[in-house]
C-alpha cells in the first residue's frame, strides 16, 4: 500500500465505551486526522430511513453506503454539507446501524471510504474492526472497553444532555443486544486485534484514558 508508512492508531471497542471521545482527543493532541467509522454505518442508516429504503434490501443499502459524502470538521459530522452529528445519535438510527453493519455488502462498500482517511501526518480511527480488518498494520492498536452498566450510564447522560429522551433499562437492554450482534456476526466480529492493548475505562476519566493511549504511542518511537 502506497500510504502504509502513514501512522495509524486503531481504537476498537463496544458501543458507548468512550472510544470516540478518546480517539478524537488523541487525534487533536497529535495533529492527526480522525475517523469515526461507526458514524459511517449510522450515516448509512440515517440515509436509508430518510429515503424510505427497503431495510431488507442489502444491495440498496450498500448503494447508499457507497455514495456517502462524509467529513469530520471540528467535532462535527457532515453528510454532504448538512450537519448531522445530533441526528445520527438517535437510538433508532443506532439500532439500525448495528443491524446493517452485519451486512457483508455494506461493509465492503464502506471499506474504500475508510481507507481513504489514512492521510499524512497520521490517522486515529475508532470503530469495531479498525485493527482487525481495515488497518491490520496500524502502528498502535487499542481495545477500549467498559462494563455494560458503565456504558449504559454514559449513553443515558449523553442522550439526556443532547435533549433526547432515554430510559436506563432500555439502554442497558439495547447495549446488551448490540454487543451480542457485534461479537457474533459472521463478518468482522468485534474482537480485540492481535497485539492490541486492552484499556478498561469503567472507572477511568476520559483524560486518564487519553493519556494512556498517548503514552503507548510515545513508547513506539
Q: In this predicted model, what pLDDT tens digit does every residue of 67-92 receive, in sequence order?
A: 999 988 878 899 988 999 989 988 89
- Matching residue, cell 430510559: 167
Torsion of the alpha carbons at 130, 131, 135 and 137, rounded to the nearest 10: 170
**73 inside domain:** yes
Flag whether 7 is marked binding.
no
Determine the structural domain holding residue 175 and report its residue range: 8-218
Q: What is the mean pLDDT of residues 7-36?
A: 94
Residues 6+ apart with CB under 8 A from 95: 174, 178
Flag whether 21 is marked binding.
yes
Flag whether 221 is marked binding.
no
Flag whether 13 is marked binding.
yes
Residue 202 has pLDDT above 80, yes or no: yes
Residue 221 has pLDDT above 80, yes or no: no
**24 inside domain:** yes
**3 inside domain:** no
Assign residue 185 the CATH number of its domain.
3.40.50.300
**180 inside domain:** yes
**42 inside domain:** yes
Residue pair 154/201 in contact (Cβ under 8 Å)? The answer is: no
Flag whether 39 is marked binding.
no
**2 inside domain:** no
Residue 155 has pLDDT above 80, yes or no: yes
Q: What is the mean pLDDT of residues 190-197?
A: 94
Flag whether 111 is marked binding.
no
Q: What does the pLDDT read at residue 198?
A: 97
Flag whether 19 is marked binding.
yes
- pTM of the complete model: 0.87
Residue 182 has pLDDT above 90, yes or no: no
Q: What does the pLDDT read at residue 210?
A: 98
Domain count, the chain: 1
**195 inside domain:** yes
39-48, 101-110, 140-149: the lowest-pLDDT one: 101-110
* Terminal Cα distance for the chain, rounded: 22
Amino acid at each position: 500500500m502506497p500510504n502504509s508508512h502513514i501512522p495509524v492508531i486503531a481504537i476498537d471497542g463496544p458501543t458507548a465505551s468512550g472510544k470516540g471521545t478518546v480517539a478524537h482527543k488523541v487525534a487533536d493532541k497529535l495533529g492527526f486526522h480522525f475517523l469515526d467509522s461507526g458514524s459511517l454505518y449510522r450515516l448509512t442508516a440515517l440515509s436509508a430511513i430518510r429515503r424510505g429504503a427497503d431495510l431488507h434490501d442489502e444491495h440498496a443499502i450498500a448503494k447508499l453506503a457507497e455514495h456517502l459524502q462524509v467529513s469530520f470538521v471540528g467535532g462535527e459530522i457532515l453528510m454532504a454539507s448538512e450537519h448531522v452529528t445530533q441526528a445520527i445519535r438517535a437510538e433508532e438510527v443506532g439500532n439500525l446501524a448495528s443491524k446493517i453493519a452485519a451486512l457483508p455488502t455494506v461493509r465492503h462498500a464502506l471499506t474504500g471510504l475508510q481507507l481513504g482517511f489514512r492521510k499524512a501526518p497520521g490517522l486515529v480511527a475508532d470503530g469495531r474492526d479498525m485493527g482487525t480488518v481495515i488497518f491490520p498494520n496500524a502502528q498502535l492498536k487499542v481495545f477500549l472497553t467498559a462494563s455494560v452498566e458503565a456504558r449504559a450510564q454514559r449513553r443515558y447522560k449523553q442522550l439526556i444532555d443532547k435533549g433526547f429522551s432515554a430510559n436506563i433499562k432500555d439502554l442497558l437492554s439495547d447495549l446488551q443486544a448490540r454487543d451480542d450482534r457485534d461479537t457474533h456476526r459472521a463478518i468482522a466480529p468485534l474482537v480485540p486485534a492481535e497485539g492490541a492493548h486492552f484499556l478498561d475505562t469503567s472507572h477511568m476519566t476520559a483524560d486518564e484514558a487519553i493519556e494512556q493511549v498517548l503514552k503507548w504511542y510515545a513508547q513506539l518511537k
